[in-house]
Amino acid sequence: MIAAKQRAAQHGYSNIEKAADELLQMIDEKQGKKEEKALSEFELKLRKALELPQRRNFDVSVDAIDEEQKIVTLSFSSEFPAERWFGKEILLHGRDNVDYSRFIEVGSVLRNHDPDKPVAVPLKVWIDEKERKGRAAIQFKDTEESRRAFEEVKEGLIRGVSVGYIINQYRYLEEGEVYENWEGPALIALRWSVIEISLTPVPVDPTVGIGRSTDKTEKNHKEGEKMAEKTLNTPTNPEELKRAQELERQRILEIRNLCSEFNIPAEMEEKFITEGVSIEDVRAQVLDYLSKTRIPAGQIVAGEDEKDKFIRAASAGLAMRYLGEPVEKVPGAEEFAGYTLFKLAQRCLERAGVSIWGLSDLEIVKRAVTHTASDFPIIMDSTVQKVLLSAYQEIPTTYEKWTKKVTVNDFKIHKAVRIGTIGILEEIPEGGEYPSVTFSESAEEFQTKKRGGQFSITWEAIVNQNPQVLDPASNLGKAARRSVEYVVYQTLLSNPTMSDGKALFHSSHNNLGTAGAISETTLNEIRQLMSKQKDIDSNVPLLLKAGYLIVPPAIATTAEKWMKDTVLPGGNGHETNIFKGWAEVIETPYISAEVDNGSDTAWYVVVDKRYLESMWVIFLDGYETPKIESVKDFDVDGIKYKVVFTVGVAPIDYRGLYKNPGA
C-alpha cells in the first residue's frame, strides 16, 4: 500500500494517492486500537492482581532497643525491587508515597502473619527519605508470645520482617520506559498503604533488617539485584513475556485461594509463592499438611477448639478494657484488652478470610456484624453479657439476707403451701398405739414477671471507637439489680393482702406494733408479739428469734445504738441494754420517704429465716441475673440488645414479719 501510494504520487494520480493515504490511516488507527485493547486487558489483569494484599520480606535493621520499656526501633521496608509476574515492583519511599495511618491506628506487629499472634504494637512509624526506608518504633507487651519474641529479637534469632501492604496508586513502565532511574518493565507504587508488619525468622531483602547496619545497604542492594537477575529467567519475546506473566499471576492467585480455603499458615503460603512451587506440588504439600494437622473423622477431642479460645479471650479482653479490671482469668485476654471494637471487627473478618482492602470503615463494621463466618457478633454478645453482669454485681443489696430464693419454670400463678407442724409430741402410755398425725395447710400465691429494656450499638459508634459504647449494658445491669431490691421492699411497704383476706401487717396477725420510735418499750412490744406466734395446728408457741431490724437512713444511727451499745441508750449510764445483739441492722433507702409508700420513721423486724421463711424472691428457670438477647437492628444500622430479667416477690408467712409505723 505504501508502494502504491509512492507510484501514484510519481505519476500525478492525486486521487489514488489520497485514497491510499486514507486507507493507510485507517490501518494505523485499527492497529492502534488493537494495541490499546491488548494493553487494557493487561491493565485489567494487573489491577485485579493488585486488589489482593501484597507481602514483602526483608531483613530487619534494629536501630535501638530499650529493654526497660521493651521498645525496638527497626526498619521494615525499602525501595529494593521485588520480582513479580509483571516485572519488577518498586515501593517508592517518599513522604507522600506511603500511608501508614491505619496501621498506627488499629494495626499490630504479628508473628509470621498470624492474626492470632500479635506480639507488639506500633508507637511511631515514619519514612526515612534519606535512606529510602520505612522505619517503626514498636513496643512488645507482657504476653508470653510477646515476651518470647522480644527475647528472640534481642538475641538475633529473629532476623526477618515482612510487611503487608496494598498498592493504592501505581505507574506501569513498559520495557524501555524510565521513571526516577527505574527502568521497565516495572510497576512503580506511587501510593501504598502499610497494613501490617510481621516478624519472621527468614530474611529476604538484604537492604533492611535485624542486625543489618546502614553502611551495608548499597552492597547488599547490588548483591540482591545480581541474585534476582541470576534467578529470574524472563522471556525476551513480548508475546512469551505476556504469557509467562499471565501464568505466574494465575499461579499466585490459585496459591492464595488454596491457602485461604484450608487455613494454611502464612509462612507456608509465602514460601510457595517466592520459591516458585508449582500448583501441583502446592496441592500435594497442602494435602500432606492437612493429613498431619486435622483431626480424623469420628475422633473426639475434649476441651476448647481454637475458635472457642479466640472468642473467650477476645470477649474477656474487651470486657477488661471497658471495666478496667479482669472479669475472669482467660489465657490471651490481655492481648485483646488493647483492642477497640473496630479493631476487633477487622480481626474477625481477617480470621473469616474476608478481605477488607478497599472497604470503608463503616463497611468493615457492617460485614463483621453480618458475615456468617465472622465471630464478631458472638464476641459482642459475650462481652455485653460480661459487662452487664459485672455492673449487676456491683450494686449492693440487702434482700438476700432475710429472703429465700426460689425457682419456677413458667409465668403461671403458683401457690406457696405452708404446712403446719407438730407443736409437741403426745405421750404414749405403756402398750399404747402411736397416733397418726395430720397437718393443716395454707397457701400464698406468687408469680414471676418480666422486666427489661433494650439498646442498640450502632455501626457508627464502633467506627468512631466511642469509649461509652457499652455504657447502656452497664446501666441496665445496675438497674436490674436495683429492681430486685426495690420490688422486695415495695412488697413490705404495700402491705399486700394475704390468703386469709387480711393485710400482711394486721393486729389480728400479731405483727403490727404501736406507733413509736425505736425504744425499750417498742422493741419489747415486738418481742412480745413474736412470742405469741403459734403453730397453725396447735397452740404451741414457735419460739421465733429476731434476725434483722430494717430501718430507713433517717433512724439508722438510733437503730445501731440499740443493737450494739452495751449501756441502755438514753438511760442513766448504768442500765444494761438487753437488746444488744438482738438483731442485725439493715439500713436501706428503699423504705424511706423518697420512695412510694415509704416513711422516714417506720421500721420493721424480720425473723431469722432459719426459723421461719417469711418472704420469697422467685426467679425463672434458676436465672438470678438478667439475660441478653441480640438481633441485627436494621432500623438504626447496628446490633440491638434486649435485656430480659424475670423476678417475682411474695410474702409467704406473716408470722415472720413485724412492723412499727414509727413516730
The single-letter code of the amino acid at 259 is C
pLDDT band at 358 (very low <50, low <70, confident <90, very high): confident
The matching CATH number, chosen from 2.40.10, 3.40.50, 3.90.1690, 3.30.300, for 375-426+437-663 is 3.90.1690
Task: Using the CB atoms, write b or e for 639-660: b if 16+ within 10 Å.
Answer: bbbebbbbbbbbbbbbbbbbbb
Contacts of 48 (CB under 8 A, 6+ apart): none
Output the pLDDT for position 145: 85
d(CA 403, CA 604): 14
Q: Report CA-CA distances (Å) from 40 to 43, 44, 322, 592.
A: 5, 6, 51, 81
d(CA 225, CA 219): 10
pLDDT band at 466 (very low <50, low <70, confident <90, very high): confident
Name the more confident of 612 and 266.
Answer: 612
Q: What is the pTM of this model?
A: 0.55
How much is the average pLDDT of 463-488?
Answer: 91
Q: Please give the grid coordinates belonging to residue 606.
A: 424480720
Cis check: omega of the bond before 185, within 30 degrees of 0: yes
Name the more confident of 237 and 366.
Answer: 366
Output the pLDDT for position 538: 67
DSSP 598: -
d(CA 534, CA 561): 31
Question: Is the per-residue pLDDT at 483 higher than 90?
Answer: yes
Q: Please give the grid coordinates belonging to residue 67.
A: 529493654
How much is the average pLDDT of 516-543?
Answer: 89
d(CA 414, CA 448): 9
Look at residues 213, 211, 214 and name the one whose alpha carbon lies nearest to residue 199. Answer: 211
641 phi, psi to nearest 5 deg: -115, 135
Instruction: Give me the long-range contacts of 427-431 (CB less than 8 A, separation at least 24).
Output: none
How much is the average pLDDT of 385-401?
Answer: 93
Question: Which three-class secondary structure state does DSSP give residue 398?
Answer: coil
How much is the average pLDDT of 534-544?
Answer: 80
pLDDT digits (tens, 9 = 90+) for 1-28: 444 444 444 445 455 555 555 555 555 5
Question: CB count, 10 Å around CB of 26?
Answer: 10
Locate the domains of the chain by residue range.
Answer: 2-48, 53-234, 306-373, 375-426+437-663
